[in-house]
Chains A and B, each alone.
Chain A
Amino acid sequence: MTQAVIETVNLGKVHFSNFLRKRFQALDQLSLTIGKGETFGLLGLNGAGKTTTLKLLLGLLRPTTGEVKVLGYDAGHVKALARVGFLPEAPYFYSYLSAQEFLDFSGRLFALPEKQRKERAKELLELVGLTDAAKRPIGKFSKGMMQRLGIAQSLLNDPELIFWDEPTSGLDPIGRRDVRTILHRLKSEGKTIFFNSHLLPDVSEVCDRIGILNRGRLIYQGKVSDITAGGNYLKLEDFFLSTIQEAEANHKKGSS
Chain B
Amino acid sequence: MHAVNAVMTIALNTLRETVRDRVLYAFLLFAFILTLAGIVLGSLSVGQNLRILIDLGLATISIFGGIIAIFVGTALVYKEIEKRTIYLIVTKPIKRWQFVLGKFLGLAICLLIVTILMGSFLVALAWYMSPDQKVNFDLVYSLPLIYLELLFITAIATFFSTFATPMMSVVFTLGAWLIGHLGQSLLALAQITESASTKLILKTAYWVMPDLAKLTLVRSDLTSGVNPGSELITYLVAYIMAYIVFLLALSTLITERREFP
A-side residues, CB < 8 A to B, are 15, 55, 58-62, 76, 78-79, 81-82, 84, 86, 88, 91-94, 96-97, 105-106, 108-111, 153
Contacts and interface: CB of A to CB of B under 8 A. Distances in A.
Nearest to B99: A109
Interface stretch (B12-20, B115-123, B182-190): B12-20
Contact of A91 (B10, B87, B90): B87
Contacts of A86: 87-88, 91
B91 A84 contact: yes
Contact of A15 (B13, B90, B261): B261
Interface of B: 2, 5-6, 9-10, 13, 16-17, 20-21, 83-85, 87-95, 259-261
- CB-based closest 7 A-B pairs: A82-B93, A109-B92, A108-B9, A78-B93, A60-B260, A81-B93, A88-B87
B88 A88 contact: yes
Contacts of B92: 81, 106, 109-110
Nearest to A58: B91
23 contacts: A15-B261, A55-B261, A59-B91, A60-B87, A61-B259, A78-B94, A78-B95, A79-B93, A81-B91, A86-B87, A86-B88, A86-B91, A88-B87, A91-B88, A94-B85, A97-B13, A105-B13, A106-B92, A109-B10, A110-B92, A110-B93, A111-B93, A153-B88
B236 to A, nearest CB: 36
B103 to A, nearest CB: 13
B5 A60 contact: no
A86 to B, nearest CB: 5
Contact of A105 (B9, B21, B95, B261): B9
Contacts of B21: 96
A92 B6 CA distance: 20
Given A61-B259, A94-B17, A94-B85, 5 more contacts: A78-B93, A82-B93, A97-B16, A105-B9, A109-B6
